[in-house]
Amino acid sequence: MSEERKICIKDNLEHIKEKIHDAELRAGRKVGSVKLMAVSKFHPAEAVIEAYKAGQKLFGENRVQEACGKFPQLTEKYPDIELHLIGSLQRNKVRQIIPLVTCIQSVDRIELVDEIIKQCRKLKTEGVDKKLCLLFEYHTGEESKSGFLSEDELMAAVERAGSASDCGIICSGFMTMAPFTDDKDAVRASFRKLRELSERVRKQFPFLPLDELSMGMSGDYEIAVEEGSTLVRVGTAIFGERNYA
Ligand SMILES: *Cc1c(COP(=O)(O)O)cnc(C)c1O
């Protein structure tokens, strides 16, 4: 009989936190400066609850439909759960996702910024006090397809969103996905590219926060921490393999 390893979410979380801690020390960074997000896509609510009971508060989902099916009940029962959207977002789903998340990490085109502003304005006129953080996703790796391809377009989107702070929009920072490859140098180069971009954009907009760097996943989060990540998005290493059936 094959020996099936039982996934222990609590142990996985602890192990990853140790690795993050070690990488922070290696890179001479302040201990505790990197946040760990648990990416729960394709995993059931029970897995989220197990992680929550092990102390995990920050979660990420990459599809609106799945997030809306799973999280309203969870956040009602556990109000200190925080959810970010990390996957590509269609304009017609913006209105639906905003109430459920504190951050949209996958802002990848200016039309999306316009729709987010429109919906936040509407909420404000309805008397809803919503704070919504945005991360601008930048394309840094050959194989991935998401994110702004042009730095100028990203700058324009930051400027647009930055002018909408009156309706609760906060320009928090940047996100990227490294290429899926075993080539560690290519992965590191991708993270470095995001950090360098962030420095240029911050110089342009010194009055915006823009200090979050969301980079690093199960296979590469240690490299990401060494390259300045402030938030790693880890799915498989916490919850096990996803079942895409
Ligand atoms: C799925 C996903 C992750 C997590 O990936 P793992 O390799 O399972 O850790 C991180 N970021 C984004 C945008 C994702 O879609």
194-236 residue pLDDT tens: 999 999 999 999 999 999 999 999 999 999 999 999 999 999 9
Q: How would residue 6 be classed by pLDDT, with cut points 50, 70 and 90?
A: confident
Residues 6+ apart with CB under 8 A from 215: 175, 176, 177, 178, 191, 194, 224, 227, 229, 231, 232
Say yes or no: CB of residue 233 within 6 Å of ligand 1.
yes
Say yes or no: CB of residue 177 within 6 Å of ligand 1.
yes
Residues 6+ apart with CB under 8 A from 138: 147, 148, 151, 154, 174, 175, 176, 193, 194, 197
Give tens-digit pLDDT for 27-73: 999 999 999 999 999 999 999 999 999 999 999 999 999 999 999 99
- Check whether 18 has a pLDDT greater than 50: yes
- Check whether 138 has a pLDDT greater than 70: yes
Q: Bigger pLDDT: 146 or 17?
A: 17
To test the pocket of ligand 1, the residue of 36, 56, 86, 194 to mutate (highest count of ligand atoms within 8 Å of its CB) is 86
Residue-level pLDDT at 144:
66
What's this model's pTM, rounded to 2 decimal places? 0.96
- Check whether 2 has a pLDDT greater than 50: no
Q: Which atom of ligand 1 is nearest to the CA of 146?
A: 13
Distance 212 CA to ligand 1 centre (A): 17
Give tens-digit pLDDT for 151-182: 999 999 999 999 999 999 999 999 999 998 99
Distance 233 CA to ligand 1 centre (A): 6
Give tens-digit pLDDT for 72-127: 999 999 999 999 999 999 999 999 999 999 999 999 999 999 999 999 999 999 99
Q: What is the DSSP string of 7-32?
A: P-HHHHHHHHHHHHHHHHHHTTPPTT
Q: How would residue 5 be classed by pLDDT, with cut points 50, 70 and 90?
A: low
Q: Which of 73, 75, 76, 99 is CA-nearest to residue 85?
A: 99
Residue-level pLDDT at 1:
42
Strand partners, 103: 84, 133
Instruction: Write the residue with the smallest CA distance to atom 13 of ligand 1.
Output: 86
Q: Which atom of ligand 1 is nearest to the CA of 221?
A: 9
CB atoms within 10 A of CB 31: 10
